[in-house]
Amino acid sequence: MRKRMTILSSILVFLVILPILVVMKADARPSDLVYQIPIQGTVNPGMLKLVQKGIREAEEVGADAIIFKVDTYGGLVDSGIKIKDAIFATKIPTVTYVANRAWSAGALIALSGEKLVMLSGSSMGAAETRPNEEKYISALRKEFKAIAERRGKNPDLAAAMVDDDIEVKGIIAKDKLLTLTASEALENKMADLVVDDFKGLLKELNLSEAKVIEVEATTAEKLARVVTNPNISILLLTIGFMALVFEALAPGFGVGGTVGLVSLGLFFSGYIINGVADWGLVILFLIGIVLMALEIFVVPGFGVTGIGGLVAIFASLYFLFPTPDIALMVLATVFILSVIGTVILVRIFGASKLWHKISLEEIQTKDLGYIAAPKGIALLGQVGYALTPLRPAGIIEVDRNRLDVVSEGGFIAKGEQVEIIKVEGSRIVVKAVKDED
């Protein structure tokens, strides 16, 4: 009887445990889990965000390794350094796999992995700075040396990828930037392994049976990476500004306004998705647009609103870019292209009534009574009337003579009485005659 009870108890325990074992088996993952994060294309804020997302997901699921597949000509050093920091910060074992080339900022990223593996026929190096000035060379040279020291690589060879003043006997001569092939990198202990393909890499790392999850960018993230390319940013900003100006010069809300808003919307959305910009910069930009509109259509003259609008617009754009040099280059290019494009549009399509209202189009000929400052006539102190608005330049009439003048201060409306207070050659300065005068 006791034996029967023991057997029955064993069967009951087995029946209770079996479903649990089945569920555990169903939920079990492969023995190893590897995340593969692509470092492909231009190194920029979009790539940085993708790397951060991939590392975060790998840490959440407890991946056994992260492989960064590098194939890039380089890009922004600022983004490359932040990617390096993210690789250093994770506690998961990291491998950088140079699939084709790791040049410039890509070389910096390749050196950051705990293991550096190169595909046969690949290359690494050529990290020349832009601009090629000593302060940038010095900073990036130290960055490469520090990474090499931390990962147990030759710091002099790493520095020679940045600074052509560094000579390493038997490897690189002076005035030459160092670029290593896969076999050269392995021979000089800059690379840990050289493999023929990705499967060979997994085999060398004892991860042949591992489940590999490839991190991919979403459609929005891919679009953002394109938009944040400085050349595309210049194009979108130029189209946006030109289209809005064209809309202001052409009657009605149509093609110009739509194209302008879409271009500027794409521009800002790319930087917001990549985490470079926040809504504060967008609001600052919109405030600048509103102030400029007020200056043109509501507030006469060029004063506080106009200056404030320009400052707000340029400040919002300036802080979107990673370095002052890039920001100034982009803004200067956009300004020049926008002015040229606007002039071409006006010549082709003409201008609207709005443009006629805010521009001085009258031809100043002698037949219409326009003369320069008359010689022999004492103009100082004479009183006349403004024939056009003075913004501050304009036309007045004094003793049946039309004179080209400038106002002493701000705006003087058409028809107001003015007094000549200064004459310097052909330059005549007037002020409004107030009631108390």
Picking from 60, 44, 37, 36, the residue whose alpha carbon sits closest to that of residue 274 is 44
Fold of 33-217: 2-enoyl-CoA Hydratase; Chain A, domain 1 (3.90.226)
Cα–Cα distance, 170 to 172 (Å, whole number): 6
Packed helices 279-297 and 255-273: angle between N→C axes, nearest 10 degrees: 150
pLDDT score recorded for residue 26: 37
pLDDT score recorded for residue 12: 53
Task: Kindly state the percentage of the chain with pLDDT values over 70.
Answer: 82
Average pLDDT over residues 262-281: 84
pLDDT score recorded for residue 200: 94
Domain locations in the chain as residue ranges: 33-217, 220-357, 366-432
| Residue 7, C-beta contacts closer than 8 angstroms, at least 6 positions apart | none
Write the pLDDT tens digit of every residue in 311-347: 888 888 888 887 788 888 888 999 899 888 878 877 7
Write the pLDDT tens digit of every residue in 143-156: 999 999 999 999 99
Check residues 153 and 422 and name the one with the higher pLDDT: 153
How far separated are the first and last CA of the chain, in Å rounded? 127
Check residues 391 and 148 and name the one with the higher pLDDT: 148
pLDDT score recorded for residue 186: 95
Average pLDDT over residues 62-87: 94
β-pair partners for 423: 428
Contacts 24+ apart (CB under 8 A), 355-358: 355/248, 355/249, 358/296, 358/297
β-pair partners for 127: none
Question: For 106-110, 161-165, 200-204, 243-247, which range has the lowest pLDDT when averaged over its residues?
Answer: 243-247
Pick the CATH number of 366-432 from 1.10.3290.10, 2.40.50.140, 3.30.70.20, 2.60.40.790: 2.40.50.140
Average pLDDT over residues 87-107: 96
Question: For 164-168, 189-193, 352-356, 421-425, which range has the lowest pLDDT when averaged over its residues?
Answer: 352-356
Write the pLDDT tens digit of every residue in 363-380: 555 555 555 555 435 788
Cα–Cα distance, 126 to 123 (Å, whole number): 10
Write the pLDDT tens digit of every residue in 130-142: 878 888 899 999 9
Residue with tokens 């390794």, as numbered in its chain: 65
Average pLDDT over residues 190-198: 95
The DSSP call for residue 154 is -
